[in-house]
Amino acid sequence: MPSNKLSYLAETLIGSEIVKLGADIKEKIKQGNNIYNFTIGDFDSSLFPIPLELQEEIITAYKHHFTNYPPAEGIEELREAVAEFLLQREGLQYNTNEILIAAGGRPLIYAAYRAIVDKGEKVIYPVPSWNNNHYVHFTEGQHVLIETKKENNFMPTADEIAPHLPGATLLALCSPLNPTGTTFTKETLEAICDLVIAENSRRSTDEKKLYLLYDQIYWTLTYGDIQHYNPVSLRPAMKEFTIFIDGISKSFAATGVRVGWSMGPANLIAKMKAINSHVGAWSPMAEQHATANYLKQTENIDAWFTHFKAGISERLNRIYAGLIQLKAEGFNVDAVAPQAAIYLTIQVNLVGKKTATENILAKQADVTAYLLDEAKLAVVPFSAFGAGTESSWYRLSVCTCKTQEIDAMLQQLKDALQRLL
């Protein structure tokens, strides 16, 4: 009988760890449990609906029958609107032939990997980080992992990156970072840019460039005194080597609207367009027209960010304060002060503890299960983002969090911690 084996990629690809955890949570809910689900990097649209003006633009676009195929690079109106938005709000200057539109950030990341990385070539990325391990696997690249540290807010440093640059094809970075909600400082990012520029200056004309993939999909969501920095503004020479990943998914709670954009060197953008055209990863025509019109509404966007960011920041800070209070009371938990995005980095360090039934939490997976079973708290371990399986750190996402449930969640967590021996 013929073998049921499929391609090497299909046989070796690991499914989403977050999706697997989500299935466990759904089963718990199905059994009648009230779970505080902080795993999802997607917005509860009843809590965080998209901007009303964007919604109206989408409806209008469908009424105008914008339902056919869009150009592979995205409609001209949207690329012009993106260019103006970036210039006004970030000081970045890109021509329309240096901007590519796609159905969110994922197809753009995939296209960038496919356009740059050949089999066996080195890809440098920090862990924890979102999905770089899977994209390297797709391209059969060589994984070069940088295990980040709490003292650096889980952001990689120039000193950690420098030894790996010779022979590397791609350096994949994200700021604000998914899963940590932390950001690069100006000095750290400048130092990394200087390394990339120096490495490319050293390479001969027949060698591949070292490109920087810079995912800044959360860049508008910073809190307090935190500022977002990007490579090209800090070091204009980086424009030749940088591919940005950006879009409306997180900035406007529009994850399902599927409008993302990439900016980069025109020749690379053209190759990414060709790859996406074969995959069919276009953003829908109506949503493109709607986004183009919405991005011009400066006052409405300013009002949106004021309201939207306040809601996220409140949730992050209240949970952070609650965890730090538990730490002060002697429980083995910790958290990193929120800086950006929709995530809080928390630590639950319980390996070796005994449950009330004398079961030992022997490994971190047992801790994750205990949190879900006893505290009814679902968070994503950093191991789902490429970190070691015994990391005691977790991503907590607040985009489905109801503010009125925060105190109850913290109390339930405290009760579960108190039951450990």
Residue after which a domain boundary falls, among 297, 317, 343? 297
Residues 231 and 258 in one domain: yes
Distance CA 330, CA 1 (A): 61
Distance CA 144, CA 126 (A): 8
pLDDT at residue 1 greater than cutoff 90: no
The owner of tokens 């790996």 is 164
Residues 272 and 167 in one domain: yes
DSSP state letter for 404: G
pLDDT, tens digit (0-9, with 9 covering 90-100), for 402-411: 999 999 999 9
Residues 93 and 227 in one domain: yes
Looking up residue 321, the CATH number of its domain turns out to be 3.90.1150.10
The owner of tokens 């070539």 is 121
Residue 3 counted as domain residue? no
The owner of tokens 């367009």 is 273
pLDDT at residue 189 greater than cutoff 80: yes
Residues 207 and 337 in one domain: no
- pLDDT score for 169: 98
Residues 226 and 282 in one domain: yes
Residues 276 and 138 in one domain: yes
SS3 241: coil
Verdict on whether the full-model pTM lies above 0.75:
yes
Q: Which residues of 381-392 are buried (b: 16+ CB within 10 A; e: fewer)?
A: bbbbbbbeeebb
pLDDT at residue 257 greater than cutoff 80: yes
Residue 237 counted as domain residue? yes
Residues 59 and 121 in one domain: yes
Q: What is the 3-state secondary structure (H, E, C) of 327-357?
A: HHCCCCEEECCCCECCEEEEEECCCCCECCC
For residue 253, the enclosing domain spans 52-297
Distance CA 72, CA 10 (A): 27
Residue 388 counted as domain residue? yes
- pLDDT score for 341: 98
Residues 335 and 408 in one domain: yes
End-to-end CA distance of the chain: 55
Q: What angle do CA 131, 55, 67 make, to 5 degrees?
A: 80
Q: Strands 142-147 and 99-102: what pairing?
A: unpaired
Residue after which a domain boundary falls, among 297, 326, 348? 297
SS3 213: strand
Distance CA 109, CA 225 (A): 29
Q: Which two tokens stand for residue 148?
A: 């980040």
Closest C-alpha among 181, 132, 253, 153 to residue 397:
181
Distance CA 72, CA 64 (A): 21
pLDDT at residue 16 greater than cutoff 80: no
- pLDDT score for 46: 96
Residue 1 counted as domain residue? no
pLDDT, tens digit (0-9, with 9 covering 90-100), for 89-109: 999 999 999 999 999 999 999
Bridge partners (DSSP) of residue 85 are none
DSSP state letter for 96: G
SS3 145: strand
Residues 263 and 318 in one domain: no
The owner of tokens 């009424």 is 63
Residues 57 and 44 in one domain: no
Distance CA 89, CA 174 (A): 19
E-assigned strand segments in 338-416: 343-348, 377-378, 380-381, 393-397
Least confident span in 25-39, 118-132, 318-332: 25-39
Secondary element (H or E) of residue 143:
strand 142-147
Residue 376 counted as domain residue? yes
Residue after which a domain boundary falls, among 297, 318, 348? 297
In this prediction, residues 129-147 reach a mean pLDDT of 96
Residue 352 counted as domain residue? yes
Distance CA 301, CA 119 (A): 43
Residues 405 and 391 in one domain: yes
- pLDDT score for 19: 76
Closest C-alpha among 233, 187, 200 to residue 214:
233
- pLDDT score for 100: 98
- pLDDT score for 14: 82
Residues 30 and 169 in one domain: no
pLDDT at residue 2 greater than cutoff 80: no
Distance CA 288, CA 280 (A): 15
How far CA 248 is from CA of 283, 344, 399, in Å, comes to 12, 21, 15
pLDDT at residue 77 greater than cutoff 90: yes
Question: For the chain, how many structural domains are there in total?
Answer: 2
- pLDDT score for 25: 86
- pLDDT score for 397: 98
What percentage of residues in the chain have a pLDDT greater than 70? 100
In this prediction, residues 126-138 reach a mean pLDDT of 96
Residue 40 counted as domain residue? yes
Q: Are 241 and 211 in contact (CB under 8 A)?
A: yes
Instruction: Share the mean pLDDT of the chain.
Output: 96
Residue 2 counted as domain residue? no
- pLDDT score for 26: 83
Looking up residue 117, the CATH number of its domain turns out to be 3.40.640.10
SS3 167: coil
In this prediction, residues 195-207 reach a mean pLDDT of 96
Label residue 52 by pLDDT band (50, 70, 90).
very high
Label residue 228 by pLDDT band (50, 70, 90).
very high
